[in-house]
Structure 1
C-alpha cells in the first residue's frame, strides 16, 4: 500500500535522578525510561486488527479508565477497549463501517466555560482523512456521547475512496487534547483495490490484503509529560489524567 507507514512513539519527558537503579524507580523517585525496540513497542502488545468482511465492518469501542504501565510508572488513562492504542480498522473502498461507541465513564462531569478544559467523561469520535459526510450518523464532531451512554456511527465509504492510512480519535471541544494524550486514538487502513487494472502490480506485491507481511505499522502519539516545569499548563492536565470522574 502506498505510504502505509504510521509511527507509534511514546514521548516521555521525565525528571531523572542520577544514580537511582531501576529497582528503586517510582513516581516519587523517577528514573530515565529505558525504552524498547522502536518497531515492537506498544503498551498493550501488537495492535489488534478489525477487518471488514463482505463489504461490512462493525466495531465496538468501549471507553473506560484502565491502568497503563510504562516500565516503572503506572498511570490510569481513558482508553478504547482497554488497549493503548485502540484497535486498527481495516476495510475496503465501498464498504460500510459501523462503530458502536460505548461510554462507560460516569458522572460527575466537569462543565467549565466554553473554551476551558471540560467534559472529561463525555466523548465522541472523529476520523482524519476519510472522505465521508460530516453529518450524523457519520463524522459529526458536535455529537456528545455522555457518561453511561452509547452512539452508533455509520460510515459510508465511497467505492472510489483512496487507499491509505488514516486515524481516529475523540473530538469533543474542551477535552480533545485530554483524551488523545491519554491514549484514545487508533489507526484506520483503507486497503488497495486488488484489481491489477486499478492498482499497479508492483504495489500489490508489497501491500495488503495479500502481502501484509511487508507492512510496518507505527503510530506517533505524545502521551506523557512528567516534568512540572516543562510547560506551565501541562501539569494542570497531567495531574487530572488519573481522575476517574471529573477535573475537580
Structure 2
C-alpha cells in the first residue's frame, strides 16, 4: 500500500506540474494574443496616394490601360528594403478609373517568375474575363481582357486569384483600386477631387520579419494571417493633410484575413454614402463601419479647422465566443490614418439627402433559393474542385441565397459578377451598413444571411464564376465553389456537375 501511495503521490505531482504548465502556457497565449497600436506611434509618414493609371482611347472609344506585374523592393521604413510585388511599381498598383457605358481593355503582362492573374473584384463582366483561377497568366505571359462597364459608380478593386496561392500574392502587394463613375454620381455635390477631398484608403495589416514581410500564422489563428500593425496605401504610420470641411474616404479592406471596425476616437458620426457596389439611396449616419476582407465602404467625415483626428479600428464582439475574438483578431485595435486639418478649411456643400437608386433585386421575383453552409473544410461539405460546377443559374433570373456559418470562426461570402442585396441577417432587416449594393458580406459564427441576386449574364456554359470566403487562407484551403450562367434550357459544359 505504501508503494501504491508513493506512485499516486508522484503521479499526482506530475499531473499538477503538467496542469500548471498548460495553464501557464494558456495564460501566456491569452494575454499576448490581442494587439493594439493605439497611441503607440507618431504618425510621421505622408500618406502615399496611388496614381491614377494612365490610359489611351482607341478610335472606337475603348479606354486602354497597361498593367505589369513585377517583383521589386519597397522601403516601408527608410533604408530598409523589403522584397515585394506590385503592378507598374514595387508595391500595390495604380488606381484605374472608367465611366459607365465605356468600353475598357487592360493589357496585362506578368513579369513575375510564376503564374498569377488579375480578378476584377466587384465588376459585372463576362466570366471569361473575370480573372478567376481559370484565367491564369503564365510567367512572362500576357492577357488582354476587354468588356463594357455596365454598372453604377462604385469603388472596386483588382487582385490576383490563383487557386491555392491567392493569400500570398495579395499579401506580397498585388492589389489596386478600380473606381467607376457615372453621370448621376457626377452631378451629386459630393467630395470628388481624387487625392484632395476624395481619398483612396487601402488598409492592410502587416508584420515584418527583419526586412521581409512575414506571412506566418500564429498559434490558434485559424482565420489566417493577422499582422501586428497596419498600413494604408503601402504607408506605415500615415498622415494626410486636408483642406476641406468634408473628406470622403474610400475604405478598402485589402487585408487577407483581418476584419476592421472603422471609426474615430471621439465617436464622431460620419456619413456612410456607399458600400461595395455603389451609392446608398440616402446617406446613413453612424460612428462605426465594419469591413471584412474584400469589402469597401465610402464615408464622409466632417473636419474642424486645425484638428488632428485618427481613423481607428476598434475591438469587435461579433466573432463568436471569447476564444475566437481573442485569437481571431476581434479584440485588436489599431490607429490607422491621421487626418490633419488645415487652419482654414474650404467650405464643402452639404451631403445630398438622396444619393442613388437601387439596382439590386428585392427578392420578390426570385425563381428559386439555394443554401450555402460555410465551413473551413469547404462550402456545403465540398472543397473547391476546378473541374466541378457546383451551381447553374439561368440568365435573367433572380435567386435568393441563404448563407449560414456555424463553423465556430468568422467567415465572409463573396460572389463574383453580381452585386446583391442583403435581405435578412438572422431573420431581421439588415443594419444600415448592409443596405447598399454588396458583393461581399461578413458572416460571423452563428449568423445566417439571406441575399437576393439577379443574374444578367452573358450566358457562358463553359466559363464559371466563383463564390467563396474572402478570408484568403480559407479560400486557398478550398472554401470556394463555382457557378455558371446559362440561357434557359442550357447546361454547364466542359466541367463535371456538382
TM range (shorter): 0.5 to 0.7
| 1:48 matched to 2:41 | no
Q: 1:140 deviation in Å?
A: 4.3
| 1:192 matched to 2:199 | no
Which of 65, 72, 95 does residue 71 from structure 2 map onto? 65
Residue 83 of structure 2 is matched in structure 1 by 76
CA contact (8 A) 1:92 1:190 kept: yes
| 1:96 matched to 2:96 | no
Q: 1:50 deviation in Å?
A: 2.3
**1:143-177 deviation line (CA, Å, top 9, x unaligned):** 1211111111112212xx11111100000112211
Residue 203 of structure 2 is matched in structure 1 by 220
| Paired residue secondary structure (1:178) | helix
Work out the CA distance in 1 between the residues paired with 2:165 and 2:215. 21
| 1:87 matched to 2:80 | no
CA contact (8 A) 2:155 2:180 kept: yes
Residue 273 of structure 2 is matched in structure 1 by none
CA contact (8 A) 2:56 2:65 kept: no
Work out the CA distance in 1 between the residues paired with 2:95 and 2:215. 34
CA contact (8 A) 2:85 2:92 kept: no
Relative to its length, the structure with more strand (as a share) is 2
Residue 17 of structure 1 is matched in structure 2 by none
Residue 335 of structure 2 is matched in structure 1 by none
Higher RCO (C-alpha 8 Å, min separation 6): 1
TM-score, normalised by the number of residues in structure 2: 0.32
Unaligned stretches of 5+ residues in structure 2: 1-34, 226-498
CA contact (8 A) 1:192 1:207 kept: no
Alpha carbons of structure 1 residues 152 and 81: separation in structure 2 relative to 1, 3 Å: same
| Paired residue secondary structure (1:50) | coil
Residue 330 of structure 2 is matched in structure 1 by none
Unaligned stretches of 5+ residues in structure 1: 1-13, 15-31, 107-120, 236-248
Residue 429 of structure 2 is matched in structure 1 by none
Alpha carbons of structure 1 residues 86 and 214: separation in structure 2 relative to 1, 3 Å: same
Question: What is the 5 A alignment of 1:157-196?
Answer: 157-158=149-150, 161-193=151-183
**1:96-145 deviation line (CA, Å, top 9, x unaligned):** 11111111223xxxxxxxxxxxxxx210110111111212x444431121
User: Which one has a bigger Cα radius of gyration?
Assistant: 2
| Paired residue secondary structure (1:122) | coil
CA contact (8 A) 1:62 1:81 kept: yes
Work out the CA distance in 1 between the residues paired with 2:175 and 2:71. 14
TM-score, normalised by the number of residues in structure 1: 0.61
| 1:36 matched to 2:44 | yes
Work out the CA distance in 2 between the residues paired with 1:200 and 1:168. 23
